[in-house]
Amino acid sequence: MTNKSRSKPPPPGSTDAEPGHLGVDDRGNVTWEWSDDEDLLADDSLGAAERVRALVDPKLQIREDEDDPLSPAQSNPKGLKSGYNPYNSGALGKQSWKKKKDLRELSKWIELRKKMGQKPDEE
């Protein structure tokens, strides 16, 4: 894979509208190098605010959650077919449930089968 399609960042001394560029430190870690703007390099709260303002993209917006955490989960019929998505799972419901077995009736039936097996043949 070649990196010819990537453009190199401008040198640190260039005067662009960019607040800085990516750089590499002596250990090979990628760091952000601020431009030589005095407001961005200030160590006070004004400098911190300017750095945050320089990095914030004005196109980004904070979107409120549409779901109420106290409301029940909405039905998601596609979840059983397409797979589990933890961020949009919803209630994974089945179309039909198996009828519950009456265990008392089952035990009566088992006892009856045992009694039928113990009776001698009357042929």
Spatial CA neighbour of 38 closest among 47, 25, 30, 48: 47
Q: Give me the residue spans of the domains in the chain.
A: 20-55
Phi-psi region of 28 (alpha: psi -120 to 50; beta: other; left: phi over 0): left
Could you report the per-residue pLDDT of 98-116, keeping only the tens digit for each? 888 889 999 999 999 999 9
Q: How far is CA 96 from the centre of its chain?
A: 30
Instruction: Please name the residue that has the structure tokens 């605010």.
Output: 49
Give the chain's mean pLDDT: 75
* pLDDT score at 104: 94
Could you report the per-residue pLDDT of 50-59, keeping only the tens digit for each? 888 888 888 8
**Which residues does the chain have with pLDDT short of 50?**
1-7, 13-15, 123
